[in-house]
Amino acid sequence: MNQDKEKADQKVGGDGLTKKQRRALKVSAKTAGTSPNEILNNIHITNTKDIKKDVVFKSNENVKCPTQNKPQVVTVEKHFKSEPSEDKPSIDRTKNVDIKGELSKAEVRAQRRAIQEAQRLAKQQKTQEKIDKADEKKPQIVSKDKEKPKVEKKPKLKVAQKIIKPKETKVQLFSHLSVATKEKGSVVVEEVHPAFVRLGAQYASKTILGSNARCLALLSALKSLIESFESPPEQEFCRSLEVALQNCVNYLQIYRPIAVSMTNVLRYFKLVLAELKTNLQDIEKKNSLIKWIDDYMHDEIGKAGEAISMKVEGKISNGDTILTYGCSSLVLRILLEAHNKNKKQFRVIVVDANPLFEGKEMLRRLVNAGIECTYVLINAISFVMNKATKVLLGVHALLANGYVMSRIGTAQIALIAKTYSKPVLVCCETYKFCERVQTDSIVFNEIGDPNELIRPSEKKQADNVNAKLTHLNLMYDVTPPDLVTAVATELAILPCTSVPVILRIDLEKSKK
């Protein structure tokens, strides 16, 4: 029992004191007239591994320390075996108190926090000193660099941007499409053949219009490039020619997007260029390529137009009134050959539209040939459609899903003809057939110069009245196959849905 009692007395509590030490503190507090907590605050305890140290302390009144307001501490070494409690002196105000010197976990954590806080403050002070030193050096360097752009460079750049940057107005729905403007005519690109430079200027000024005309002009420029081309030393002829051709095509795209017929021509030309034998001399390769271009112009465009003309002539009868739109070179050839060779008597209604007014050229040539013509604008199409017996239309491209891509306004004419139950015959060479699929005029199209929609004399007045009005000048539209009766090709008169079959036949021919 006595041993258990002694063990209980020797147990250390949360405040780091045993029961005996607490009793001694209470007695000393009563005699000194202070609370036990004040006495505890004035105690400083230390530990060692092999021995215990009793702390003898005094109150703050009896301790004088010039630097720190801490109690004076005197340590007395004492062995673990303590003397009986009867021999211990009573704690008094003037006497020292022996306390077991073990730190609690809370006190250890408090000491660690104090050390960490001191280290943090020291580190923060060092970083602040570095920042202060850097700030002292900065004004001399920064002030010199910032003075030049503020006074000299920035105002000049801002003024130049305001002068050079043109005001652009685009319809948001068609913002992804390229806009053809006359301002692009001043663009100069290096490593471009003069024939392509001239061709680009003709595209920009709309001197060359129509798929066939643009394709023939491209082939003529390509012949000039091949004739004057010389491969660089230690480079293959075909590879260097392909690079030069790509530079020229990129130059043409600045002025107008490449037409579908031109895309097909370039694709076939690159296939022929890749199949040339490497053991041939450069002159032989040039002659082979020029011969291919001549054959393509003669067969795919010339002979194809002649074959289509022969097939469509059988559909034209004496006394017919044929309605056409714009100025398609193939439709013009069909009408002239039907009148001159076969001596058929028929009338032609030429429908035209702003801004190109291509129908004027069609009207001039037909009248010179002695054909009776009527000229109307597209807004009067519903008044003359009942007089027509057949509708002949030209084509920019025929898509894989059977849709017809042609000059803007073609879909409107086909729709009116369908309403009046008039047959619509589309004339198209097979080299204009395209693998692209399109059901509207938004995904892929070409935007012409919006200023062409307004007369020069009315432009200022229109700008003042409609300052926020944006003009849209689309070049092409898409006609669904339901509105087209048939397509006249050099192979046969076929429905629009036969385009994939023709494309597959052409692919097999190219492989052979």
Given CA atoms 493, 497, 498, 504 in this order, what sign does their dihedral have?
A: positive
- Do residues 421 and 364 share a domain? yes
3-state secondary structure 118-178: HHHHHHHHHHHHHHHHHHHHHHHHHHHHHHHHHHHHHHHHHHHHHHHCCCCCCCHHHCCCC
Planar angle of CA 135, 140, 145, nearest 5 degrees: 110
Residue 376: beta bridge partners?
Answer: 351
The pLDDT of residue 68: 42
Instruction: Assess if residue 56 is contained within a domain.
Output: yes
- Report the C-alpha gap between 153 and 188 in whole angstroms: 28
Instruction: Assess if residue 144 is contained within a domain.
Output: no
Instruction: Assess if residue 171 is contained within a domain.
Output: no
Average of per-residue pLDDT values in the chain: 79
Query: Which has the minimum average pLDDT: 75-84, 127-136, 218-227, 415-424?
Result: 75-84
Residue 303 pLDDT > 80? yes
Average pLDDT over residues 44-69: 42
Query: Which has the minimum average pLDDT: 122-126, 155-159, 302-306, 308-312?
Result: 155-159
- Do residues 300 and 324 share a domain? no
**Strands 390-393, 347-352: parallel, antiparallel or unpaired by DSSP?**
unpaired
Q: Which residues contact residue 260 at a Cβ distance below 8 angstroms, ignoring those fewer than 6 apart?
A: 211, 396, 397, 405, 432, 434, 436
107, 127, 160 - which closes a domain: 107
| 321 touches 347 (CB < 8 A) | yes
47 or 109, which is more confident: 109
Instruction: Assess if residue 232 is contained within a domain.
Output: yes
- Do residues 274 and 348 share a domain? no
- The pTM score is 0.65
The pLDDT of residue 57: 41
The pLDDT of residue 196: 94
Residue 384 host element (H or E): helix 381-384
Query: Which has the minimum average pLDDT: 59-63, 127-131, 209-213, 271-275?
Result: 59-63
282, 304, 326 - which closes a domain: 304
Query: pLDDT grade, residue 86 (50/70/90)?
Result: very low
Query: Which has the minimum average pLDDT: 115-119, 306-310, 333-337, 340-344?
Result: 340-344
Instruction: Assess if residue 176 is contained within a domain.
Output: no
Host domain of residue 347:
318-511
| 226 touches 241 (CB < 8 A) | yes
Distance between first and last Cα of the chain:
116
Most confident of 96-105, 389-398, 470-479: 389-398
Instruction: Assess if residue 327 is contained within a domain.
Output: yes
Average pLDDT over residues 19-27: 77
Query: pLDDT grade, residue 243 (50/70/90)?
Result: very high
The pLDDT of residue 482: 95
Planar angle of CA 339, 345, 346, nearest 5 degrees: 95
Q: What is the CATH number of the domain that holds 186?
A: 1.20.120
- Do residues 300 and 329 share a domain? no
pLDDT single digits (tens) 329-378: 999 999 999 998 888 899 999 999 988 899 999 999 999 999 999 999 99
Instruction: Assess if residue 130 is contained within a domain.
Output: no
Average pLDDT over residues 205-231: 93
| 460 touches 473 (CB < 8 A) | no
| 242 touches 216 (CB < 8 A) | no
- Do residues 263 and 323 share a domain? no
- Do residues 416 and 268 share a domain? no
Residue 446 host element (H or E): none
- Do residues 402 and 503 share a domain? yes
Residue 460 pLDDT > 70? no
Instruction: Assess if residue 424 is contained within a domain.
Output: yes
State the total domains in the chain.
Answer: 3
Q: What is the CATH number of the domain that holds 431?
A: 3.40.50.10470
- Do residues 427 and 285 share a domain? no
Residue 441 pLDDT > 70? yes
Sheet with 476-479: list strands edge to edge: 397-398, 404-407, 476-479
Average pLDDT over residues 115-123: 90
- How many other C-beta atoms are found inside a 10 Å radius of the C-beta of residue 358? 19
| 331 touches 324 (CB < 8 A) | yes
Lookup: tokens for 195: 């024939």
253, 278, 304 - which closes a domain: 304
- Do residues 226 and 343 share a domain? no
Using DSSP's 3-state secondary structure scheme, residue 270 falls into: helix
- Do residues 188 and 323 share a domain? no
- Do residues 364 and 505 share a domain? yes
Query: Which has the minimum average pLDDT: 110-124, 157-171, 294-308, 394-408?
Result: 157-171
pLDDT single digits (tens) 152-196: 443 443 333 333 444 455 677 888 887 765 555 455 567 799 999
- Do residues 275 and 364 share a domain? no
Residue 491 pLDDT > 70? yes
